[in-house]
Amino acid sequence: MDAIVVDALRKTYAGDVRALDSVSFAVREGEIFGLLGPNGAGKSTTVRVLVTLTEPDAGRAEVAGHDVLREPGAVRQAIGYVPQQSGFDREATGRENLILQGRVHGMRGESLQRRAAELLERLGLADAADRIVRTYSGGMKRRLDIGLGLIHRPSVLFLDEPTTGLDPQARAGMWKELERLAERESLTVLLTTHYLEEADQLADRLAIVSRGRVVAEGTPEALKRELRGDAVTLELDDGRCEDAERTVRALAEVHEAASDGSTLRARVENGGRAVPGILAALEAGGIPVASVTVSRPSLDDVYLAVTGRDFKSEDESGILEGAAAR
């Protein structure tokens, strides 16, 4: 049974900015589903529609069997939502924050106290339960955010960029915690992320979103298996990417090639055998190469294959556009 159904959602903001362009996907009960895409791809807008904070211009969506437009109250009772910006009281303790959130959901008495204590223990916050939250580390604050979303025992949990701003060690710890929580709480989890490794690590299945559209969907492994062979990445000394791309594309062993800035990426059947021929062709064309690497397919390669654009460059572009809009 599907816990979330999204069908042809559309949303346009002022200035004819199309945030969602017929987005469709489904999330099965009990799975961790990732919405992966660069900044500005439409991930957060999708989540805001699903948690009833934004109405779509067209399309429909159901969460936990409830239509988000016709039954918003029922949807809110069934879900937990952890937005990008923290919602806790910095001057209250971790325990006080959880109890207050539980009361907002109609919880009272000993059962609320037990639930707060249970979550503090599961989230590794028991020793800091009665400390003021402003003294918490970044990772502790993010775990408390998740506790606020779980206090009322939702069946579906939405996590919008759950590890943004955390250092690599804290991020890896959060991944492990989320996997454990999803199993122990019998949750369906939808998370948005622009971290490729996070989607690869956490998601049972994922949808890759680009410029308001779903461009690929499946398990991380299945999406990577669709790409043939190895990825060859070349850093060029003089930036002649267009010339290098034409040269490499002409080689029989190269399936595809794309360039961005001073970086050229090619897909080949066998990287070890193909690299000498690629380097020889570029040298013959007078195109110097600073470095070359060979790797197995990644989600970055999947994104490049389905959009023709580099994920990192598009992510950075989305950050700049968002800052300019603010």
Same domain, 260 and 195: no
CB 130 within 8 A of CB 172: no
Question: Tell me, what's the pLDDT at 320?
Answer: 45
Q: The CATH number of the domain where 124 resides is what?
A: 3.40.50.300
Sign of CA dihedral 231, 237, 238, 239: positive
> pLDDT tens-digit profile of 108-130?
999 999 999 999 999 999 999 99
Q: Give the burial class of 168: count Cβ atoms within 10 A of its Cβ; 0-12 exposed, 13-18 middle, 19 or more buried.
A: exposed
Same domain, 251 and 199: no
Same domain, 191 and 150: yes
Per-residue tokens: 120: 């503090």
Q: What is the amino acid identity at position 212?
A: G
Question: Tell me, what's the pLDDT at 251?
Answer: 95
Same domain, 197 and 285: no
Where do we find the tokens 């779509």? 56
Same domain, 186 and 98: yes
Q: Which of 161, 193, 223 is the last residue of a domain?
A: 223
| Order of all β-strands in the sheet with 254-260 | 254-260, 263-268, 230-236, 289-295
Same domain, 121 and 191: yes
For the question of whether the overall pTM of this predicted structure is more than 0.85, the answer is no
Tell me the three-class secondary structure of 237-302, residue by residue: CCCCHHHHHHHHHCCCCEEEEEEECCEEEEEECCHHHHHHHHHHHHHHCCCCEEEEEEECCCHHHH
Containing domain of residue 253, as a range?
Answer: 227-325
Question: Tell me, what's the pLDDT at 228?
Answer: 79
Q: Which of 185, 201, 223 is the last residue of a domain?
A: 223
Same domain, 51 and 148: yes
> pLDDT tens-digit profile of 124-175?
999 999 999 999 999 999 999 999 999 999 999 999 999 988 888 888 888 8
CB 232 within 8 A of CB 249: no
Same domain, 307 and 170: no
Question: Tell me, what's the pLDDT at 173?
Answer: 86
Low-confidence ranges of the chain (pLDDT < 70): 318-326
Same domain, 215 and 305: no
Same domain, 282 and 204: no
Q: The CATH number of the domain where 308 resides is what?
A: 3.30.70.260
Same domain, 211 and 238: no
Per-residue tokens: 96: 């006080």
Total structural domains within the chain: 2
Q: Which of 223, 256, 277 is the last residue of a domain?
A: 223
Same domain, 209 and 67: yes
